[in-house]
């Protein structure tokens, strides 16, 4: 057997370089690069290996390990999980900074290879700098924190272990059902150890998405349910995008005249003006989608786990005889909510249903209601997003200006706070990939880093990042990274002087404004006047402040013409949000309180939970 002597780090990098995938008929590397912040845990071992391979596997640097992982995760999402990146860190704080990002990738089922440096396997110099010691278990390091938030986790304590670990890791990263973050903890001494690896191990390998088809029994049960339906509804989730099934969903919905609503991850599967598009579903939903969901007798959920925001905490589907079909590549999701499971790739599952539905079609009355409600909702969107001269515009009015400035192929990126709710309802997405929201983990700080990942995935599209002042303050350093890389972003910072979204929730639950808005934190002195415009400029961006929606619109025109990252700040109303659409969300209100407002909210809460359909 022919072998080649390499260090563990060199072998790891060579194996990564050998993985291939196909994008639009062209063979390309599966790994588009590695984001790394070097420290003593990886600089000598992995750093040297990456330097030698820099022409084939680019290495990028940034400013925060969590943010770098967000960039990589957003890249994978924008590439519909067909390509990915790796992230490497030193031991200790560099590694644990990535744990939040690992959780985000885990929840959203997105692939990223995490390579945190680890303490010495030999333990010769223990305890080393940054080592976390467990008093009861000498095998534990900080990297054990990744175990509950990784789809696959391993610690490479001997160089030859790569021969068994890497094939498993790559299968997880590329399997549609099990996709998620993989963590390989790499002790710094083992990175430098050499081994005679089989040359065959590094032969190029094409990685294509596995497409499983439906079981005949499950398919028959789903067909029976659909054929008996008079008021069917389709819920499009992220799995539609990852299966590249948007065209198939569009044709399926049109052929049988079924209304389609969308989750946060599924938005954009159908264009906003598609004849069967009825908008977003759930807590952040459109009035059309939520009204149809209340009546639907069969719900076909495609590629979604139906989280609580989508189902309005199990209260959105009110028809007592309604049946739920869960078409999902992952059986874990397909059996949720007492559904009829249809375990299958979305594209193959829709094709199998289409083949056997025959001449069945939705009754004309249901299609007529779909079109009527969708028309009414589109009028509500126009009203909510139209320009205003108000001194403090709403989030909806700001995103309306951004949406008008965005081209058909451009992308909006967001993650947390009140903006995702307004965007889910109101942003008009014309093409798949134009709406990029991280709402599975709703992680503050994802926005700017995520926008950079989207831009790396497709530099031809303008990327609009909408971010609140709270998220901006939490993580903004990758503005500098975008400038360093020459990857332009258009960032709109909406400043409502605090955490406006959670303040509104606090008030809705009967609470007083407390610890959220700056004004509720300090009542006896001057509030901070944060100059986000100057801050963004200090990181290398072009920046300006817009004092009105009219100024925002002209600033967005300048931003489109610019050739580097452009930040626009605007002050917004912390209290107002779009009243149209939306549904109840289960946020527990205290049973006992001395305050009348809380007791009143509790009464409403007790009444609302009676509409939940849990356990069915």
Q: Find the CATH number of the domain harbouring 356.
A: 3.40.50.1220
Q: Residue 554 has what pLDDT?
A: 98
CATH of the domain at 15: 3.40.50.970
CB 497 within 8 A of CB 570: no
Q: Are residues 168 and 227 in the same domain?
A: no
Q: Which helix (H) or strand (E) holds 37?
A: none
Structural domain boundaries enclosing 614: 586-616
Q: Clarify whether residues 241 and 361 are in a common domain.
A: yes
User: Which residue, 206, 236, 267, sits at the end of a domain?
Assistant: 206
**In 3D, which of 476, 508, 517, 530 has the Cα closest to residue 600?**
508
- Tally Cβ neighbours within 10 Å of residue 338: 12
Q: Are residues 153 and 104 in the same domain?
A: yes
Same domain, 187 and 220: no
- Within 335-442, where are the H helices? 346-356, 364-385, 395-405, 419-426
| Same-domain status, 394 and 266 | no
Domain contains 580: no
Q: Compute the distance between CA of residue 105 and CA of residue 83 in angstroms, rounded to an integer.
A: 14
Residue 540's Cβ-count burial label (10 Å; 0-12, 13-18, 19+) is middle
Q: What is the pTM of this model?
A: 0.97
**In sequence order, what DSSP letters do the residues of 402-467 get, joined into one string?**
HHHHS-TT-EEEE-SSSHHHHHHHH----STTSEEE--SS--TTHHHHHHHHHHHH-TTS-EEEEE
> What is the chain's Cα-based Rg?
25
User: Please, what sign has the CA dihedral across residues 454, 455, 459, 463?
Assistant: positive
Residue that terminates a domain, selected from 352, 377, 402 = 377
Task: For residue 315, give both structure tokens.
Answer: 């209260």
Task: Let me know if residue 577 belongs to a domain.
Answer: no
On whether both 364 and 247 belong to a single domain, the answer is yes
Residue 162 falls within a domain, yes or no? yes
Neighbours of 592 (CB within 10 A): 7
For residue 145, the 8-state DSSP code is G
Q: Tell me what pLDDT residue 342 has.
A: 98
pLDDT at 588: 94
- Would you state the pLDDT for residue 615? 61
Cα–Cα nearest to 426, from 287, 550, 316, 241: 287
Alpha carbon distance 529, 534 (integer Å): 12
CA dihedral 413, 282, 221, 177 (to 10 degrees): 30
Q: Model confidence over 24-58: pLDDT tens digits?
A: 999 999 999 999 999 999 999 999 999 999 999 99
- pLDDT of 330: 97
Q: Is 576 helix (H, G, I), strand (E, B) or coil?
A: coil
The answer to whether residues 445 and 561 belong to one domain is yes
Task: Identify whether 127 is preceded by a cis peptide bond (ω within 30 of 0).
Answer: yes
Helices (H), 497-573: 500-508, 518-521, 532-538, 549-561
At residue 603, the 3 state secondary structure works out as helix
Interval 502-560: pLDDT, tens: 889 888 898 998 998 888 887 777 888 899 999 999 999 999 999 999 999 999 999 99
Q: Name the token pair of 299.
A: 């719900």
Q: Are residues 190 and 221 in the same domain?
A: no
Does residue 238 share a domain with residue 194? no
Is residue 612 domain-resident?
A: yes
Tell whether 211 is covered by a domain.
no
Residues in Cβ contact with 155 at an 8 Å cutoff, skipping those fewer than 6 apart: 118, 141, 143, 184, 185, 187
Task: Flag residues of the chain having pLDDT under 50.
Answer: none
Choosing from 206, 232, 248, the residue where a domain stops is: 206
Domain shared by 459 and 605, yes or no: no
Pairing of strands 566-571, 323-328: unpaired
Supply the DSSP string of 293-332, one letter for each residue: HHH-SEEEEES----HHHHTTTTS---TT-EEEEEES-HH
How many structural domains does the chain have? Answer: 4
Buried b or exposed e, range 31-56, using 16+ CB within 10 angstroms: bbbbbbbbbebbbbbbbbbbeebeee
Q: Indicate if 17 and 141 belong to the same structural domain.
A: yes
Kindly tell me the sign of the dihedral angle through the C-alpha atoms of 399, 405, 407, 411: negative
Q: Quick check: is 579 in a domain?
A: no
Looking up tokens 């290398």 gives: 540
Question: Any bridge partners for residue 608, and if so which?
Answer: none
Q: Are residues 241 and 346 in the same domain?
A: yes
């Amino acid at each position: 057997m022919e072998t080649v002597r390499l260090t563990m780090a060199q072998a790891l990098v060579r194996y990564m370089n050998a993985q291939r995938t196909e994008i639009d008929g062209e063979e390309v590397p599966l790994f588009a690069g590695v984001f790394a912040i070097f420290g003593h845990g990886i600089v000598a071992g992995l750093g040297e290996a990456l330097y030698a391979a820099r022409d084939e596997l680019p290495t990028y640097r940034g400013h925060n390990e969590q943010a770098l992982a967000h960039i990589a995760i957003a890249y994978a999402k924008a590439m519909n999980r067909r390509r990915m990146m790796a992230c490497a860190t030193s031991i200790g704080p560099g590694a644990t900074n990535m744990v939040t990002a690992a959780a985000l990738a885990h929840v959203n089922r997105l692939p990223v290879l995490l390579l945190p440096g680890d303490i010495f396997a030999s333990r010769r110099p223990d305890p080393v700098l940054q080592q976390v010691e467990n008093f009861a278990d000498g095998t534990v390091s900080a990297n054990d924190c990744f175990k509950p938030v990784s789809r696959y986790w391993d610690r490479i304590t001997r160089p030859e272990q790569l021969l068994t670990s890497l094939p498993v890791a790559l299968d997880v990263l590329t399997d549609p059902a099990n996709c998620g973050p993989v963590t390989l903890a790499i002790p710094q001494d083992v990175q430098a150890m050499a081994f005679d690896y089989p040359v065959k191990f590094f032969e190029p390998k094409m990685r294509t998405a596995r497409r499983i088809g439906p079981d005949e029994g499950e398919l028959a049960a789903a067909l029976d349910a659909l054929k008996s339906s008079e008021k069917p509804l389709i819920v499009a989730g992220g799995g539609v995008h990852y299966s590249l099934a948007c065209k198939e969903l569009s044709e399926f919905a049109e052929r049988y005249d079924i209304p389609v609503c969308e989750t946060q991850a599924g938005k954009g599967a159908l264009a906003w003006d598609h004849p069967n598009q009825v908008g977003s579903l759930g807590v952040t939903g459109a009035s059309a989608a939520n009204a149809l969901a209340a009546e639907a007798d069969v719900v076909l959920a495609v590629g979604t786990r139906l989280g609580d925001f989508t189902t309005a905490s199990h209260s959105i589907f009110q028809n007592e005889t309604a049946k739920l079909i869960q078409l999902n590549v992952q059986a874990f999701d397909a059996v949720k909510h007492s559904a009829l499971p249809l375990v299958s790739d979305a594209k193959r599952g829709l094709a199998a249903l289409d083949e056997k539905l025959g001449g069945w079609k939705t009754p004309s009355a249901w299609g007529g209601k779909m079109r009527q409600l969708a028309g009414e909702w589109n009028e509500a969107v126009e009203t909510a997003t139209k320009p205003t001269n108000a001194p403090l515009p709403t989030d909806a009015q700001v995103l309306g200006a951004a949406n008008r400035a965005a081209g058909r192929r451009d992308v909006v990126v967001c993650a947390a706070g009140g903006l995702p709710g307004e965007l889910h309802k109101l942003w008009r997405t014309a093409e798949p990939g134009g709406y990029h929201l991280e709402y599975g983990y709703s992680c503050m700080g994802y926005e700017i880093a995520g926008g950079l990942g989207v831009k790396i995935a497709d530099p031809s599209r303008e990327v609009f990042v909408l971010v609140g002042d709270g998220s901006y303050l939490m993580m903004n350093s990758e503005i500098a990274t975008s400038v360093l890389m020459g990857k332009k972003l258009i960032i709109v910072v909406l400043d409502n002087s605090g955490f406006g979204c959670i303040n509104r929730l606090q008030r809705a639950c009967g609470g007083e404004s407390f610890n959220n808005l700056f004004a509720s934190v300090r009542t006896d002195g001057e509030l901070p006047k944060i100059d986000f415009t100057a801050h963004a400029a200090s990181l290398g961006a072009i920046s300006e402040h817009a004092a009105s929606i009219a100024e925002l619109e002209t600033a967005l025109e300048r931003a489109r013409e610019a050739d580097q990252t452009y930040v626009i700040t605007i002050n917004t109303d912390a209290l107002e949000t779009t009243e149209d659409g939306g549904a109840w969300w289960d946020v527990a209100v205290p049973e006992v309180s001395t305050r009348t407002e809380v007791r009143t909210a509790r009464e409403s809460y007790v009444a609302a939970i009676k509409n939940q359909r849990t356990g069915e």
